[in-house]
Structure 1
Amino acid sequence: MPCEHLVRAWLARSLVSQSDSDDLIQEAYCRLSNVEAFEQIARPDAFFFQTVRNLLLNHIRRARLVRIETVAELDELGLADNAPSPERVTGARRDLERVRACIADLPERCRRVFELRRIEGLSQREIAERLGVNENVVEYEVARGLKLVVKALRARGGDMADFSRAGAVR
């Protein structure tokens, strides 16, 4: 990675030993090698840096003795945030693409109604007026679309528990 020297410099400023830095970077490379869809990562350098930071946090949590300077440096960087890990972000993007593909496979009217309701957030009345159909048709097509998307995700091996936790399926 072209940014490895920057990560090493940050680790040195955080008073992480050379051997621990080597271990953290090696572990980050191992994690990166398991990523299936690199094309979805907008900033590989930031992804790599965040992976090393997460590994360092895990290392510090497991350590019995931690230098106070290291903790202070981490506090300054705001690493104790609740942001999802890069791995979770990548997984969520992959799941989103699977859902989008399922929506794209819906019949035309069903897809259009489903997108207007679930993605754009229009009311049933607004959709009915826009498409010149009855509100009952809108309700039926949204329910039909949701059933077809869930069925397609299951057929493609999707774990619906993951999608429902993420709010993709309500």
Structure 2
Amino acid sequence: MGEDRQTRVADWVKREVLPCEHLVRAWLARSLVSHADSDDLIQEAYCRLAKIDDFESIERPDAFFFQTVRNLLLNQIRHARIIRIETAAELDDLGLADEAPSPERIVGARRDLARVRERIDALPERCRRIFEMRRIEGLSQREIAARMGVSENIVEHDTAKAIKLVLKALRRSSDVAAAEPYLRTRLR
């Protein structure tokens, strides 16, 4: 009976889920997830689907698969935040001296930040404001939506749009390396 279930699950995945995998991969790429992480997230999602007892009752397998990958990505981001906080606490416990950056690094970082800031300032007004509240002020999507009177979907969309537009502008001017730390500040 276990083999029969495995065959049914495999057939269901092949028929209902696999055709939408490329859409999920495209979304992950737009979300700036590396190819290797995308592979891991999709593999984990398939493993979770295989464990569902009543998989045939899922009305929208494509949406279910997408939501599973999205939840796994969110858990990965939350876990990355936790790891960093714990690592920082351990370093504090060791009593290691915090070395200040050199004056050259400070000047370079300020110059890079100014370039990124120029690109952010050039964004469309609503997109720029949402991006600033989300990435610079650290507000949640819900808080931003309430303040601006828009849906959380618009907040999520405009944040992603802002990142894409800034990275695109920086790629054109070859400043993309300068932008990465500032654009990803609140992503992990």
Query: Per residue, is there more helix in 1 or in 2?
Result: 2
Could you state the TM-score of these two structures normalised by the residue count of structure 1?
Answer: 0.49
The structure having more radius of gyration, on CA atoms, is 1
- Tell me which of the two structures has the higher relative contact order, counting C-alpha pairs closer than 8 angstroms and 6 or more residues apart: 2
